[in-house]
Every structure is written in structure tokens, then in C-alpha cells.
Amino acid sequence: MSGAVSSYASWQVFHGHISVPVFRTDEKIRSFGRMPVGWHYGKGVPARGDIIRVAREYLWHFLMMGYQETDAFPGVDGEIMVTAYRGDYCTEITIEADGTYSVGYQFKGKDRFFESDLSRENANLLVMSIVTQIEQEEREAWGTSSWSILNTMTLANGSFAISYSNPPAMEAAHPLWTSNAEHRVAEQYVPT
């Protein structure tokens, strides 16, 4: 079992709310590296390992931000789009083959925002901004945040040292959102 899948499995066992389609999305992203040259009507190349790794990191971060439905799509130049759904919202990030990023989101199938040619740092900031916007709209629509239960529950054995209601700790624990440094997904986790 890979590290990412085992981390998802432990999250599911502990919290009990991540569904099987997440595992399918992770495997789908991994499969983009095994696509044959010419996979799309004679065009199309497999995704490089670095693009697959970053796409899997975004999948994990979307899950940590409350998205439970996800999907991923390959591009003919080796790019990968990761989509995450939360109610009527769809947030997407594309890791382009040239090292740039595209970010967008939709509400009820209508585009609300899209920007391309972004640095990783700017893409991260935009994703966080989109999540904040969606949470604000959810609070306005429902009078409460979908995070209210997560923010107030107590976890056993100090399972999380950070919470999304504490942005400085969140940024320290999740440097993906605050830096453009390369990060590697662990292939194996040691029980603690």
C-alpha cells in the first residue's frame, strides 16, 4: 500500500467520512504517468512524476479542506487537472507541464473565476482564497459554517496539532500553501 493511500486509510478509519472515490482519484492520478504516447487521437504524453506528485498533494489538501468528492483529468501535454466538489461548488487546479498552474472555480456549473500562468505560490493563495469565499457563502446561506463541527470537536491523543481556525499554525503545518518549494509525498508511514 502506498504512503498516500495508507494516510487516506488512516484518516478514513479515524474520522470515518472519506469515501472510496478518493482512492480512485488517487489511483487515477498515478495512472496518468503510465499512459502511452499518443493516447489522445495520436497526441498526448504521460504525465511526469513531479506533476503526479504535486497533483496528489493537492488532492490531499482538498480533502483536508473539507472537499469529499474529487476527480482528476490528464492533459495532452502531460498536465493534470485536479477537481474537488463541495455541494454546488467545483474548485479546480491544473498543474501545467511548463511548471505553471491554473486555478478556477464554478458554482452550479457556471464559471466564477479562472486564472492561468500562475506560480505555485500564487496558485496556493488563490485556492485558499476560493475556499475562504466558499465557506463565507456557505455561512451566509446556512447561517453556520460546514466546518463548525470539525472546529469544535476534540480529537484523541492530540491527533492534530493544528486546526483551520488557526491560520499561522495551519501555514506552518502545511507549507504547500505558503511556499513554492518542492515537497515529496512520503511513500511509507511509520505508526506513532
Cell numbers representing residue 139 in the block: 455561512
CB burial of residue 157 (10 Å; 0-12, 13-18, 19+): exposed
CA angle 178, 187, 96 (to 5 degrees): 50
Q: How far apart are alpha carbons 67 and 38 in whole angstroms?
A: 33
**Whole-number Å distance between alpha carbons of 52 and 57:** 9
pTM of the entire predicted model: 0.66
Angle at alpha carbon of residue 169, lines to 175 and 72, rounded to 5°: 45
pLDDT of residue 3: 42
Going from the C-alpha of 3 to that of each of 93, 157, 181, 187, the distances in angstroms are 22, 22, 20, 4
Contact indicator for 96, 80 with CB cutoff of 8 Å: no
**Of 181, 177, 156, 157, the residue nearest 168 (C-alpha):** 177
The separation between CA 34 and the C-alpha centre of its own chain, rounded to angstroms, equals 21
pLDDT by 10s per residue, the chain, length 192:
344 443 444 344 334 444 556 789 999 999 999 999 999 999 999 999 999 999 999 999 998 888 889 999 999 999 999 999 998 999 999 999 999 999 999 999 999 999 999 999 999 999 999 999 998 988 888 765 444 444 444 444 433 343 444 455 545 544 444 444 444 454 555 555
Cα dihedral 124/127/132/137 (nearest 10): 170
